[in-house]
């Protein structure tokens, strides 16, 4: 799932215009062939609502509506109302994945939170909206309150949820922890579809995605050029290269279109791609050292 238009837009100083959101969504889905695109958070602003309406109308006209997703909240019917009016049919419901968040931000017990979640899901489903779940701060939950995580999951797995999305919200995980924690989820709930959502605070987002896939998760979240909160998310181009070349797995992504889409997002976001950015930077296929240049000239060795 690409979340450039939602989490990527949370990059400091970045705000996409409505037509830019439509353009990026079209490029992601029709040029790159990304499976799913998260385009916004519910209830942000009137401008965001109009942008979502434009994207969903384009998607509906082109038979892509099932690929468009919006972040929603455990807020009674407010997010469901917003998403329904926007024309979107998939809600990514943000729930608390750590006891610390549930206790101190919501000031509720796990069971109280679960009752609220069930109410939102039932309302969404009654209106024809599919629901995926984000377990916000899941990585800290697995470090410090696994009993809470499993109490939540043991109930959530009985609800009509399509995907269970595991965010490393603060970018705290290392690859060993990522593999261990994701494996615990996939082993305990083998019939469920899990996504992993990495953040790059320790420059480990791509490495953590690698371990999450090896641990059996079914989907990963990315952004074009690694845009996102703080240090950003796992970069789309790097993750695709990792999946194709290192893990020897296949996706629907057309690698030949990655550079062009990256340049469009660079223009819209105002965030310049570093020249040495892996795979899409202007200098990454340029050899300067004499021995490298000699080897390339003789047999493309480098």
Q: What is the pLDDT of residues 223-239, one digit of tens each?
A: 999 999 999 999 999 99
pLDDT of 18: 98
User: DSSP characters for 153-191?
Assistant: HHHHTTS--S-EEEE-TT----HHHHHHHHHHHHHHSTT
Q: Strands across the sheet with 164-167, in order? A: 37-41, 68-73, 90-96, 130-136, 164-167, 194-197, 219-221
Provide the token pair at 279.
Answer: 């795979």
Catalytically annotated residue among 6, 99, 211, 229: 6
Over residues 19-66, the pLDDT tens digits come to: 999 999 999 999 999 999 999 999 999 999 999 999 999 999 999 999
Angle at the Cα of 191 from the Cα atoms of 185 and 197, rounded to 5 degrees: 45
Catalytically annotated residue among 9, 38, 48, 136: 136
Residue 40 β-bridge partners = 70
pLDDT of 287: 66
Flag whether pLDDT at 119 surpasses 70. yes
Over residues 261-298, the pLDDT tens digits come to: 999 999 999 999 999 999 999 988 776 666 666 777 77
The percent of residues above 90 in pLDDT, for the chain, comes to 93
Cβ atoms of residues 35 and 1 within 8 Å: yes
Over residues 72-98, the pLDDT tens digits come to: 999 999 999 999 999 999 999 999 999
Provide the token pair at 7.
Answer: 């989490």
Cβ atoms of residues 25 and 37 within 8 Å: yes
Positions of E strands within 66-159 = 68-73, 90-96, 130-136
Tell me the domains of the chain and their CATH numbers: 8-271 (3.20.20.70)
Cβ atoms of residues 141 and 149 within 8 Å: yes
Own/partner pairs, 121-126, CB within 8 angstroms, 24+ separation: 121/93, 121/159, 121/160, 121/161, 123/77, 123/80, 124/72, 124/80, 124/83, 124/91, 124/93, 125/160
Alpha carbon dihedral 45, 47, 51, 53, in 10-degree steps, equals 70
Provide the token pair at 234.
Answer: 């796992």
* Annotation says 26 is catalytic: no
Provide the token pair at 203.
Answer: 């420059």
pLDDT of 288: 66
The count of residues in the chain is 302
φ/ψ bin of 219: left (φ > 0), alpha (ψ from -120 to 50), beta (otherwise): beta
Q: What is the spatial distance between Cα 97 and Cα 123, in angstroms, rounded to a whole number?
A: 21
* Annotation says 6 is catalytic: yes
pTM for the model stands at 0.94
């Amino acid at each position: 799932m690409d979340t450039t238009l939602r989490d990527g837009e949370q990059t400091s100083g970045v705000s996409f215009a409505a037509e830019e959101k439509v353009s990026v969504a079209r490029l992601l889905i029709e040029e790159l062939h990304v499976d799913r695109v998260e385009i916004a958070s519910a209830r942000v602003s009137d401008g965001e609502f109009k942008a979502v309406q434009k994207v969903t109308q384009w998607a509906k006209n082109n038979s892509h509506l099932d690929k468009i997703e919006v972040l929603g909240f455990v807020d009674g019917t407010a997010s469901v109302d917003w998403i329904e009016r926007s024309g979107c049919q998939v809600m990514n419901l943000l729930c608390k994945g750590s006891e610390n968040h549930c206790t101190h931000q919501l000031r509720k017990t796990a069971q109280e939170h679960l009752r609220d979640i069930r109410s939102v899901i039932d309302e969404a489903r009654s209106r024809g909206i599919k629901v995926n779940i984000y377990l916000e701060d899941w990585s800290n939950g697995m470090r410090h309150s696994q009993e809470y995580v499993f109490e939540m999951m043991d109930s959530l797995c009985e609800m009509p949820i399509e995907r269970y999305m595991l965010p490393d919200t603060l970018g705290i995980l290392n690859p060993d922890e990522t593999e261990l924690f994701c494996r615990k989820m996939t082993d305990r709930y083998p019939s469920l579809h899990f996504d992993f959502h990495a953040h790059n605070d320790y420059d480990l987002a791509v490495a953590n995605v690698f371990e999450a896939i090896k641990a059996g998760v079914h989907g990963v979240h990315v952004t074009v050029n690694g845009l996102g909160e703080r240090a950003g998310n796992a970069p789309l181009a790097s993750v695709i290269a990792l999946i194709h070349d290192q893990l020897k797995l296949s996706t629907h992504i057309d690698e030949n279109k990655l550079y062009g889409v990256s340049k469009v997002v660079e223009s819209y976001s105002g965030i310049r791609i570093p020249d040495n950015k892996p795979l899409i930077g202007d200098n990454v296929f340029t050899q300067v050292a004499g021995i490298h240049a000699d080897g390339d000239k003789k047999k493309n060795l480098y």
